[in-house]
Amino acid sequence: MPVASRIAQFTEESYWVRRMFEEGSRLKKEHGAHNVFDFSLGNPDLDPVKAVKDSILEAAGVNTPGIHGYTPHAGLPELRAAVAEMIQKDEGIAVDENSIVMTAGATGALNVAIRTVVNPGDEVIILVPYFCEYPYYIDNHGGRAIKVPTLADFLPDLGAIDASITPRTAAILITSPNNPTGRVYNEQVIRGLADLLIYRSSQIGRPIVLIADEPYKVITFDGVRVPSILQAYPNSMTVSSFGKSHSIPGERLGYIAMSPGMNDAARTMDGLILSNRILGFVHAPALAQRAARRVLRDIIDVSVYQRRRDRFYQALSDFGYELIWPEGAFYFFPKTPLPDDATFVELLKKRLILTVPGTGYGMPGHFRIAYCVPDETIEGSLRGFEDAIDEARAVPSGKMARRM
Amino acid sequence: MPVASRIAQFTEESYWVRRMFEEGSRLKKEHGAHNVFDFSLGNPDLDPVKAVKDSILEAAGVNTPGIHGYTPHAGLPELRAAVAEMIQKDEGIAVDENSIVMTAGATGALNVAIRTVVNPGDEVIILVPYFCEYPYYIDNHGGRAIKVPTLADFLPDLGAIDASITPRTAAILITSPNNPTGRVYNEQVIRGLADLLIYRSSQIGRPIVLIADEPYKVITFDGVRVPSILQAYPNSMTVSSFGKSHSIPGERLGYIAMSPGMNDAARTMDGLILSNRILGFVHAPALAQRAARRVLRDIIDVSVYQRRRDRFYQALSDFGYELIWPEGAFYFFPKTPLPDDATFVELLKKRLILTVPGTGYGMPGHFRIAYCVPDETIEGSLRGFEDAIDEARAVPSGKMARRM
């Protein structure tokens, strides 16, 4: 077999994702796409605002020679400067363009960050439930994912993190607003985490890098604010994208912002830029870079997601689902009313509702609902959500498991 | 230091590239950009043809909802089908869309291919001189680059390749038309290589994957054709891009085409798609994918590069430079008239001519000239090229080395 063993293993592992998609497609063909309620993907349904579309069109129409040629590996200087200025304003921290690398989305950024700070065999801490692909990103660069449980409300368990740090700990990767839970880590949590990392870094004699994955940073509700990671902890980098905030995930644009307090900052930035180049990104797509500068603040209407959260949360709670009240992003991560999440996801699928079992996020007994979908999809699904929990409660779980 | 040791080492190694750029920028500032003759970069000066620019503009103007959303990880099905059809026509081999993965350029494609077939510790054969970043791509995925010399005319030395194959050989990576030499591997060479790989694969009991990096495939001169790799060897994949052929390297679009004869083909394709996803590309940029389908054949005017090659080659030969007659791409790789290539590149720089020492390509005693630059740059540089070789010949090399 020409396939590397880890890749073969990962494809095996992700066949369920593929089966899920294939079955989703089959259901849509069979029943009509409008009769299937697809909550399985974080692909935002909202259209980019007009200013963003206009800016893309304008960038595409520029006729200057070389406009489609290579940009610097770190990105266009004027875009890096604009991103730095935005962060400076939002977080009150003095970052300039030399702390910014434009990347192919947050996913590209995460791989670049991990490649830069992880030696083969090093450990990277992630918090359970984690975004389902984090373990792959860490493995890409020879790292070991150390999966640390969170508290009952999905906030970081500092004691558990403390206990998981070893001399091999290169980094901890967090995401807030969280995918899959929607939880936002508050100021106090971040301050506690920073203190812990400062203490343990000095103890193990290496700077533990805090990588904060923040593609949902501006998608928060009720005025909740995401505290500044760069401010809180010197050896930090935040990763973000325009995918969710601007509804252009297909155009693959994001960035890494490095704290100016980073240990050995110049060399770390050189490492990030080199990794961006040699991992094969070379640089973020030129046209998206050109389009982005003028529309950094032209994000989608977050109140739409908030309205959906309110409505959908209420309905799910009324049906008896146990879930936390998300403060951001566009996900719910309820408990499944049956111990086996895959079984319950099947019950939903019988009602043409597509969701993702929590097992993929490292937390069985839960499932993820992505509500970046039209209101009609939510409304149309409610009956099915109610039926499914009723069926789950009616049937003893042992019997259900045998039936699957 | 938060930087992984290999990345720190690579950034150290590539500081000369950076110094070169910085010095180039300084020279341009000091003397005016038009008085500096920059042959250091493979960034094509030709503008994309009108059809390509129109198609990008059209793609940017489409208003269908979701147009900037995620595409499938393997790329848009209609684009994959169009690329497959093109290859089928050009190479007479039955590939369909299920053998194609759209990628972020050829560089992204190479990383995806290597990630898919290389286990940590596996060996990947590259031929000297190699494109300067190949060793990094291989290291990214825990592989070991095995550097094998070529013949005097830069064609593969099958005996040397044979001798370098071990049970750990996962792949061999070739590029034709070659960067940095401009050499095109002919039918006979490819057939010989294929026979060797078939024989040795069966001997070591694993399919050695032939990865052919072909971003310059359509940039050949005097009617020279690049033989079909996919046709010649079943366990092969070719990697290409629209960067050089269409002069849009900044838009990061390329693809992998897998031979339908690939061992365990379905699983290998699954591996490629998974690697494209988890390495952080997710998928190739959406807008570029949409723009590409209608303009697959709308390449730049290759005769411009051919005319430059003719003129420039003649002049360099007349001055006394030893170089091969390139059959494709847009590079010369002459011998330096001094044993130390860095020293000679400095002599050129004194004449405001920027080139790259061969050491970076694994072959000291040579230097690379990228002639994807305006005719005026070539004409303006000739006097300096002549002076530099004269100076090099006048000074005993021992003395020159001491002077540097």
What pLDDT score does B114 carry?
98
What pLDDT score does B398 carry?
53
- Closest in A68, A262, A268 to B48, CB measured: A68
> Mean pLDDT over residues B45-63, rounded?
96
Distance between B297 CA and the closest CA of chain A, angstroms: 18
- Per the listing, tokens 């005026």 go with B376
What pLDDT score does A404 carry?
40
What pLDDT score does A396 carry?
63
Cβ partners under 8 Å of residue A359, min gap 6? A341, A342
By C-alpha distance, the chain A residue nearest B134 is A278
What pLDDT score does A399 carry?
54
What pLDDT score does A21 carry?
77
- pLDDT tier at A397, thresholds 50, 70, 90: low
Chosen from A237, A252, A377 to mutate, greatest number of chain B CBs within 10 A:
A252
Q: At residue A402, does pLDDT exceed 60?
A: no
Per the DSSP assignment, residues forming a β-bridge with B258 are B237
Q: How far apart are CA B171 and CA B162, in angstroms?
A: 13
Q: How much is the mean pLDDT over chain A?
A: 95
The CA angle B119-B124-B127, to the nearest 5 degrees, is 170
Q: At residue B289, does pLDDT exceed 50?
A: yes
pLDDT digits (tens, 9 = 90+) for B98-140: 999 999 999 999 999 999 999 999 999 999 999 999 999 999 9
Strand pairing report for B123-128 and B144-149? parallel
Q: Report the run of H or E that residue B211 belongs to, with start and end.
A: strand B209-213
pLDDT digits (tens, 9 = 90+) for A211-252: 999 999 999 999 999 999 999 999 999 999 999 999 999 999
Chain A and chain B share a number of CB contacts under 8 A equal to: 260
Predicted structure pTM score: 0.96
Q: At residue B403, does pLDDT exceed 50?
A: no
CB proximity B202 to A under 8 Å: no
Per the DSSP assignment, residues forming a β-bridge with A255 are A102, A240
B26 CB neighbour count, 10 Å cutoff: 11
Q: How much is the mean pLDDT over chain B?
A: 95
User: What ipTM describes this predicted complex?
Assistant: 0.95
What pLDDT score does A403 carry?
41
SS (H, E, C) chain A: CCCCHHHHHHHHHCHHHHHHHHHHHHHHHHHCHHHCEECCCCCCCCCCCHHHHHHHHHHHHCCCCCCCCCCCCCCCHHHHHHHHHHHHHHHCCCCCHHHEEEECHHHHHHHHHHHHHCCCCCEEEEEECCCCCHHHHHHHCCCEEEEEEECCCCCECHHHHHHHCCCCEEEEEEECCCCCCCCCCCHHHHHHHHHHHHHHHHHHCCCCEEEEECCCCCCECCCCCCCCHHHHCCCEEEEEECCCCCCCHHHCCEEEEECCCCCCHHHHHHHHHHHHHHHHHCCCCHHHHHHHHHHCCCCCCHHHHHHHHHHHHHHHHHHCCCCCCCCECCEECCECCCCCHHHHHHHHHHCCEECEEHHHHCCCCEEEEECCCCHHHHHHHHHHHHHHHHHHHHCCHHHHHHHC
The CA angle A36-A42-A45, to the nearest 5 degrees, is 65
Distance (Å) of CA B210 to CA A82, A279, B240, B289: 44, 20, 14, 26
Domains and CATH numbers, chain A: 5-48+301-403 (3.90.1150.10), 50-295 (3.40.640.10)
- pLDDT tier at B404, thresholds 50, 70, 90: very low
Q: At residue A253, does pLDDT exceed 90?
A: yes
3-state SS class at B281: helix
Contact A108 B281 (CB under 8 A): yes
Q: How far apart are CA A317 and CA A310, in angstroms?
A: 11
Question: Measured between beta carbons, which residues in chain B are less than 8 angstroms from residue A300?
Answer: none
Name residues 6-25 of chain A within 8 A of B (Cβ): 6-8, 10-11, 14
- Per the listing, tokens 């002459």 go with B334
- For residue A281, give the amino acid letter: F
